[in-house]
Structure 1
């Protein structure tokens, strides 16, 4: 068995139904599915009890936040790869897991594109084939489109549950930049992410920025200085491109465009 699906939920029965429906339809059945509910007060627990024959494991108890719940699920998992598909998100099409499994070749981190759905609007968020510190400075492949080897997750101690928004970003950055984890990009989309999650809400933007800055300063101080210098050079170049004197020299053929 290669895949452990971990679904975290808190008071989101509607989202649970969408996630369950997408997993129930999968043609690949050789996976385990772990549900971690944060002691919901809506009808989530009743819904899960009614459908628990679909799950390998089901927990419902208070937790310290979404990353604590995700760590709980990972601690139970037995398969080679962990896949976090939280309540509300869904797999795209019945053959999604079947296609994904064909790519699980022992690489530490395997990631793909993801469909972003915001109301009636749908777009594909593409991940890069090659990762860089510049990319990871302010982004990462979506966890709904990432498959992580369980032994890597355990080696790095899972997600930092003291963080509220960017623990998955920290894990990915530390895995690749500090532990030289192997990675592979799949140029395809297997899952749908619906806007409205904690990291996508505008009110959490300042906290997200604060948490990332704190991690960068603590974990990657040398690289952070390099990226700050690059930002300075990029701003300087943009200013030069807008300079009237520079534009005049270019029109006169005395300076090549840059």
Structure 2
């Protein structure tokens, strides 16, 4: 019988982060899942740690790869679960009961996403997401990989992660899945996982590369992009009107309805 969930951890030279992630998964009170670790031939002791803890893994491999997205694709190919969750090294579950408490929400939807606890230096907050996803939403944000369950059949339908991208392949996948292929999704307003800011996409030095990759993706969405520019222009105009002192005074005097 295939497991309901496959949890995939991608790691490269992040031994301490890997230990944190493995402990979090090992301590879950719900354990009807398979666990896969994909390591990129780390040289910091990660490969030895994986070998010494192989009894905790249903599948593991340590070999050179061309980056995080090729490693994630390896995990997809090896996974057997109905739903896949990427909890990469350094990330961890929100608490030990989170799977047991939320397995009930995995049903017919192709993508099920939760809130994400974000930690940056000494700042901690819960990042929430909208009930309804749109093209305009993805122009400003994406879904949280560590808190998103994806049905394995979705990858079979629309393809896996684009391996020649370095930063935005996961964003492209979610954009294509929701806006091009119209896959079903569900939002659960509860925290599932914890993410520490500091990866490639959040590095200021990679900002130019990130924008370049996004620009390439958006070539397939020319019509959407034009419509979005119009929407943004109208939104700016509306916001300017709302902040106008004259408009505020007219609303206060009852000469204009609030908008």
Q: So what's the TM-score if we normalise by structure 2? A: 0.92
From the superposition, tell whether residues 121 and 247 of structure 1 become closer, same or farther in structure 2 (CA, over 3 Å): closer
* SS of residue paired to 1:209: helix
RMSD: 1.9
Distance 1:212 1:7 in 2: 25
- For residue 151 of structure 1, report the CA deviation from its aligned partner: 0.7
Distance 1:243 1:25 in 2: 54
**What are the Cα deviations for residues 189-228 of structure 1, in whole angstroms up to 9, with x where unaligned?**
0110011111122222222222222212x22111110001
Distance 1:49 1:234 in 2: 54
**Is 1:197 the equivalent of 2:199?**
yes
Distance 2:106 2:176 in 1: 21
From the superposition, tell whether residues 90 and 250 of structure 1 become closer, same or farther in structure 2 (CA, over 3 Å): closer
State the match for 2:230 in structure 1.
Answer: 229
State the match for 2:18 in structure 1.
Answer: 16
- For residue 140 of structure 1, report the CA deviation from its aligned partner: 1.5
Q: How many residues align?
A: 257
Superposed, 1:81-160 pairs within 5 Å as 81-160=83-162
Which stretch has the larger CA shift, 135-144 or 185-194?
135-144
From the superposition, tell whether residues 7 and 257 of structure 1 become closer, same or farther in structure 2 (CA, over 3 Å): same
* SS of residue paired to 2:216: helix
User: Any conservation in 2 of the 1:113–1:141 contact (CA below 8 Å)?
Assistant: no
User: Any conservation in 2 of the 1:106–1:149 contact (CA below 8 Å)?
Assistant: no
State the match for 1:177 in structure 2.
Answer: 179
**What are the Cα deviations for residues 20-48 of structure 1, in whole angstroms up to 9, with x where unaligned?**
11011011121111111011111111111
Unaligned segments of structure 1, at least 5 residues: none
**Is 1:74 the equivalent of 2:84?**
no
From the superposition, tell whether residues 242 and 103 of structure 1 become closer, same or farther in structure 2 (CA, over 3 Å): closer
Unaligned segments of structure 2, at least 5 residues: none
Q: So what's the TM-score if we normalise by structure 1? A: 0.93
* SS of residue paired to 1:170: helix
* SS of residue paired to 2:84: strand
- For residue 89 of structure 1, report the CA deviation from its aligned partner: 0.1
- For residue 242 of structure 1, report the CA deviation from its aligned partner: 5.6
Distance 2:163 2:102 in 1: 28
Distance 2:82 2:5 in 1: 6
Which stretch has the larger CA shift, 163-172 or 242-251?
242-251
- For residue 99 of structure 1, report the CA deviation from its aligned partner: 2.2
Distance 1:241 1:129 in 2: 26
**What are the Cα deviations for residues 146-197 of structure 1, in whole angstroms up to 9, with x where unaligned?**
0000011122111111111111111111111111100001110011001111
Which stretch has the larger CA shift, 85-94 or 231-240?
231-240
